[in-house]
């Protein structure tokens, strides 16, 4: 969706400006005088979103009764010069569910709420509610719950923005907000230009051809000359993929790389452009609401010294038991993460892997930008689900971030990870997982994990318990 110039009616412009001032920043507006009149215009998608919200809010019938519910999308479409279906799709795409309840009443979308006499369904002795219909959580517990939705949402404009009963209704509401729609539009525009143009599975196939030959010190030109019909990419693209760390072969396997001076660090490359589609934190919360008993496994990268040739750690944190695994990777790439999960799948088997990794939650780093390949094995068989936290929101993985502080006691921030082997990392994690914690009722993560899962899984993962008196989380742990 490209930026566009749309001329406005002066009175419509002024009416919309009072509703969403965020979109009306200096430099966005101008004056079009080509028709002899001074008419304001805007060059961003914000115009489109604000006009829709303006009309929805002002959709109440006028004095002649010609501005009713059934005509709202037609009115908007006519004034914007768009098709009615275009406006409807826009509203559906950017309307968001809101469970806020009404003034003095909590959210409750049970059909029987008015006649409900249920009492203390939560079985909490300290519950101060006189009746469960006044609790926003009772519908999750009540066996007689029957969901009710507003019938007005099935007709235009399909949202509650201009409804006169909005602040008196306790049902689930759907709202269209121009600022959020504009933000989504801009994010989509940015994401569409990121990543690479092939799938993770196609990248893996090409890697099987390119990497072995690069390690044999063949040039990219020679490889392309002999495998052009199999690879179907140009030399520059292959070189960019190697430099971005998307292949098993690294840029040090390229000829003359050592002789060339280092170039300016480029932006991280995401493997899948639409990796967040259907995997955002909003979708994660919706999934957990439907499947509240699903164990969550968080993963992140721990960086030592910043640098493209510096190794990093992949940490995998089992939230329920507070147990953490860590794996050393020679480069912070999507390929290294995929390799670790493939190895874990082979080690644990189908049943063991699905038991331990039903759902993954990670940040937006480029190393996690191949979700379809993490979620499925090399044959395309789905083995787990993956979701992303919001950008700049580490608190959404707070349990893992807190556990990283234990690692930093032994490996201080800014310390290179090159001197440490995987055996050293395993030793450190054994001490971390044997650390007695108050939040686990004075037990270690090892003990809690053993209660929740078969102890044989710990043996397969190489996790060993350290005697409490021998637990050491300091730099002295690695002194030999």
Of the candidates 269, 273, 248, the one whose C-alpha atom is nearest the C-alpha of residue 198 is 273
**What does the mean pLDDT of the chain come to?**
78
Q: Cα–Cα distances in Å, from 206 out to 199, 224, 241?
A: 11, 11, 11
111 in Cβ contact with 148 (< 8 Å): yes
Q: Which CATH class is domain 281-478?
A: alpha beta
pLDDT digits (tens, 9 = 90+) for 362-409: 998 888 988 999 999 988 899 999 999 988 888 899 889 888 999 998
CA 454 to chain centre: 31
Predicted local distance difference test score (pLDDT) of residue 22: 40
In this prediction, residue 14 carries a pLDDT of 34
Residue pair 87/49 in contact by the 8 Å Cβ criterion: no
pTM here is 0.60
Q: What 8-state DSSP symbol labels residue 345?
A: H
Higher pLDDT, 58 or 306: 306
* pLDDT tens-place string over residues 344-370: 999 999 999 999 999 999 998 888 988
The answer for residues whose C-beta is within 8 angstroms of residue 11's C-beta and 6 or more apart is: none
- Given this model, what pLDDT does residue 131 score? 76
Instruction: Check pLDDT > 90 for residue 308.
Output: no
Contacts of residue 202, defined as CB under 8 A and 6 or more positions apart, other chains included, come to none
């Amino acid at each position: 969706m490209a930026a566009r110039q749309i001329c406005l009616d002066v009175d419509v412009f002024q009416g919309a400006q009072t509703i969403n001032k965020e979109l009306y920043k200096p430099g966005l507006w101008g004056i079009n005088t080509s028709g002899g009149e001074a008419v304001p215009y805007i060059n961003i998608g914000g115009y489109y979103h604000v006009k829709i919200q303006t009309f929805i809010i002002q959709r109440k019938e006028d004095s002649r009764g010609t501005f009713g519910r059934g005509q709202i999308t037609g009115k908007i479409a006519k004034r914007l010069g768009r098709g009615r279906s275009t406006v409807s799709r826009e509203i559906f795409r950017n309307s968001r569910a809101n469970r806020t309840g009404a003034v003095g009443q909590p959210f409750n979308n049970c059909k029987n709420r008015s006649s409900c006499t249920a009492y203390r369904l939560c079985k909490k002795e300290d519950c101060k509610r006189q009746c469960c219909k006044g609790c926003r959580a009772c519908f999750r517990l009540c066996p007689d719950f029957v969901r009710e939705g507003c019938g007005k949402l099935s007709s235009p404009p399909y949202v509650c923005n201009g409804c006169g009963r909005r602040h008196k209704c306790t049902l689930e509401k759907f709202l269209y907000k121009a600022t959020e729609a504009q933000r989504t539009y801009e994010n989509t525009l940015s994401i569409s230009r990121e990543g690479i143009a092939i799938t993770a599975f196609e990248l893996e196939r090409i890697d099987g051809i390119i990497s072995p030959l690069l390690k044999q010190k063949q040039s990219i030109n020679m490889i392309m000359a002999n495998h052009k019909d199999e690879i179907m990419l140009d030399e520059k693209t292959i070189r960019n993929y190697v430099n971005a760390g998307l292949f098993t072969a690294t840029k040090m396997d390229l000829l003359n790389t050592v002789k060339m001076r280092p170039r300016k660090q480029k932006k991280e490359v995401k493997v899948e452009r639409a990796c967040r589609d259907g995997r955002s934190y909003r979708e994660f919360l919706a999934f957990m609401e439907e499947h509240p008993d699903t164990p969550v496994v968080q993963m992140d990268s721990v960086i030592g010294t910043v640098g493209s040739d510096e190794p990093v750690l992949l940490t995998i944190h089992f939230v329920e038991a507070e147990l953490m695994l860590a794996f050393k990777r020679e480069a912070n790439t999507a390929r290294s993460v995929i390799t670790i999960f493939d190895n874990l799948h082979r080690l644990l088997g189908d049943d063991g892997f699905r038991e331990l990794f039903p759902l993954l939650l990670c940040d937006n780093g480029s190393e996690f930008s191949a979700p379809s390949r993490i979620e499925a094995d090399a044959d395309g068989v789905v083995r787990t689900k993956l979701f992303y936290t919001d950008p700049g929101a580490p608190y959404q993985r707070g349990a893992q971030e807190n556990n990283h502080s234990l690692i930093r006691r032994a490996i201080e921030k800014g310390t290179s990870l090159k001197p440490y082997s995987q055996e050293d990392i395993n030793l450190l994690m054994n001490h971390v997982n044997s650390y007695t914690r108050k939040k686990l009722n004075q037990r270690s993560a090892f003990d809690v994990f053993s209660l929740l899962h078969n102890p044989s899984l710990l043996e397969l993962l190489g996790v060993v318990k350290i005697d409490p008196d021998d637990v050491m989380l300091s730099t002295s742990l690695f002194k030999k």
